[in-house]
Structure 1
Amino acid sequence: MRIRLDPWPVDTFDGQLTLSPFAGLVFNAEMDRWAALPTRGVPERVRRVLVVDGKPRMEARLLLDDEAGTLSVAGFGAFVVGAVDLCPHGTRRAELQGVAARRVLAYSGDARLEAARLSPRNPHSGRLEYDPHPFSGAQVEGARSKIQRLMLDAEQQMSADLASPLPLDETDPDALPDTLVLQDGPVRIGEAGRAVVGYVKTLHTDYLGADRIGLLTELKPGERTPILRFTLGDRGEGGEGGREQRFTWYVRLCEAPFYQHPLAGVMRLEMHAPEDSEFVPRGVQDIADLSGALLCRLASQPHKDPRAPQNLIPTAALEQAMGRAMGSPELVTRRIRAHLAQEYGRAVGA
């Protein structure tokens, strides 16, 4: 028996590798031969790459009761969505885009709540404004799920707005976009026709099977697998209901040290596919060809990030900026308590 290390820190939600078989069917899309393919570099035509990510935060759980004594749950929370705008050829400095906190009062029940505005004692620290958003059900974690859903919707909208259109023609020589979006996590329903690539940092679902997964251990940095196509329905990684075609392939970002599991340093990428397509659009093919070179440039190092190399350098910088935008969680919690104490005191006095 050989013991190998999962390189991701134990305080992350999941390990880097927890493979479970994909419930659906996976088909060859690019070629029938299953072998490693080299990267072809990043063409000059690609002038902008934007790395998009989001960060949610639950700030306080609430319990509501009305005059009839009916109880319901709610919560204060916040989320940030932003992007890092960079040149893949290194001709300019990377810039942050759209990093601003949005605060949410997520609630269940029939009665509509008004926006909550928390004014600080110190005017320099700004007002916290929580916009009401109802959710169905009465689960305690319903508020957290609502905040997560709002964040994902905003992330999807930002990716679609920033990315270039992507022609789905098989042979169009001008299909490679000048602006490419790398979106943390799987692509989502509604992003088809845009140059959006979802990058999945953790390998939780096995799309390859025992006869093909061995190729991932043989990939050299920058190399990729051939493109595959699968149908996502009600089950599968990142499933959101409905039926949708997607392309996927794997890229190796770095060599795995001998003491780590052999899939360390491998990332899965995915893009939307035309319904029941028998070909890979030229734009998707070109993006897959450049993906190895691009991601190897953006990959992080273990001494900088414990989730290296999959947690890309722009992603780590964006995570820090998003955390600053939401503010100190301890300070926000104190302001929520002070606000509720003040409102409750007024009600008791009345």
Structure 2
Amino acid sequence: MTSTTYAARMRFHVDGWDPTYGSSVENAENSIGDSTAKVTPNIELAPADWKPISPSHVPDPGAVLFVDGVRRVEARIWIEQPPSTINGAPNATMALCASYAAGTVCCCPGQGAHLLTTESRRGLFTTAPNAVDVPTTAGTYQANITPDDQEENLAVLLSTALQRRLGDLEILAAANARTALTGHGVAEGSDLLVVDGPLRGCTHLPRALGLIKSHRTAYLPPDLHAMIATLAANERSPVFLMGTSWDRHAWYLRLPCTPGAPWAGVVRLECPADIPTAEAIALANLSQLVMPRYASCEYKDTRAPQNLVPVAGLERELRRRLGNPVLLSRALRVAAAS
């Protein structure tokens, strides 16, 4: 079969393993590197004066908009490639078929928490240059071709490509949220947008916060990092500036929770770096009012209290909208056989 024929009609085979348990062919796992963030701690207080900051009296926002996304791999497939020019042997490249979705929950007076916007997609993620869209009875998996990187684990490379597309969809959901808020009786400029995860890509949006639930790296100097463990419920750290591949204001906040590990219930919040310091501090004060209200309970959520109640509800609804994974896997197998 010629390369032209391969480009016109993509052949693939579905891996028999449940994607939940990885692939039947695994490569080495990716490791997490040390932080190279540049931190400027003297934004709100001088480092020598750092101490836990108690909540202050601030006005309630007109509405709180929570943005989040979910992803699910339905199948790992193998895309046939043109035979090797060296020995004519057949060749195949692993790829992912996945569904992903993003949306917004609105919490505003008189309506409680309700779904505001949703966006969903299906995608084929691969490095195969001959990849094309995969139509199935359950929808079309749009081809997303990622440049191959011989130094990167293929599974990690494809997972990163999927995460990048999900991030783009979350940015779209965040941008559309305020348009969808029209007609809710919320005064213009009074809402607060909370993105579940880093604020990267959304820093252009006004009154926006990023909420990071887990901590893999100690960004602060040791003495300031140790202070975070002394925070009481609803207390926060002073605001500081941090820069990695992008800059932002940040602070730590402890949500109400059962006493336990030193960092139990601690989240990191982010807002844009290019806003005035006074505005960043005002957002930090506002976060102390808003976030504890929506903290989850241990008996309801295994990620309590950091996985906020509206976010958990949004995740459940988005997963439901992804469709039945058994039916989707079957649809892919039928498409492969045809």
TM-score (norm: length of structure 2): 0.77
What are structure 1's unaligned runs of at least 5 residues? 1-10, 12-18, 120-126, 165-175, 234-243, 344-350
**What CA RMSD, in Å, does the superposition of the two structures yield over aligned residues?**
2.5
What's 2:101 paired with? 80
Choose from 138, 144, 148 the match for 2:163. Answer: 148
Any conservation in 2 of the 1:224–1:292 contact (CA below 8 Å)?
Answer: yes
Q: How far is the alpha carbon of 1:256 from its aligned partner?
A: 4.2
CA distance, structure 2, for counterparts of residue 197 and residue 190 of structure 1:
9
Find 2:310's aligned residue among 307, 311, 314: 314
Supply the distance in 1 between the matched residues of 2:81 and 2:228 (Cα, whole angstroms): 57
- Asked whether the equivalents of residues 180 and 196 of structure 1 are also in contact (C-alpha less than 8 Å), the reply is yes
Distance 1:313 1:39, change over 3 A: same
Instruction: Provide closer, same or farther for how the CA distance between residues 40 and 111 of structure 1 changes in structure 2, counting only shifts above 3 A.
Output: same
Q: Determine helix, strand or coil for the equivalent of 2:128.
A: coil
Match of 1:329 in 2: 325
Task: Measure, in 2, the Cα distance between the counterparts of 1:328 and 1:211.
Answer: 49
307-316 or 179-188, which moves further after superposition?
A: 179-188
* Alignment deviations for residues 144-189 of structure 1 (CA, whole Å, 9 cap, x no partner): 322211001111232244369xxxxxxxxxxx94121111111104
Q: Is the CA contact 2:58–2:289 (under 8 Å) kept in the aligned structure 1?
A: yes
How far apart, CA to CA, are the structure 2 residues paired with 1:22 and 1:64? 37
Q: What pairs up with 1:1-350 in 2 under 5 angstroms?
A: 22-27=35-40, 28-32=42-46, 33-44=49-60, 46-68=61-83, 69-87=90-108, 90-113=109-132, 115-119=133-137, 127-137=138-148, 139-162=154-177, 177-189=189-201, 191-233=203-245, 244-257=246-259, 260-274=260-274, 280=277, 282-341=278-337, 343=338
Deviations 1:99-125 (A, max 9, x none): 343111223232251x32212xxxxxx
1:228-276 CA-to-partner distances (Å, cap 9, x unmatched) read: 012213xxxxxxxxxx32111011111542xx212101111011102xx
Q: Percent sequence identity over matched residues?
A: 29
Contact 2:63–2:107 (CA under 8 A) maintained in structure 1: yes
Q: Report the Cα distance in structure 1 between the residues aligned to 2:192 and 2:173, rounded to whole angstroms.
A: 12
Q: Is the contact made by 2:67 and 2:105 (CA closer than 8 Å) also made in structure 1?
A: yes
Structure 1 distance, partners of 2:76, 2:158, is 8
TM-score normalised according to structure 1 size: 0.75
Consecutive unaligned residues in structure 2, runs of 5 or more: 1-19, 21-31, 84-89, 180-187
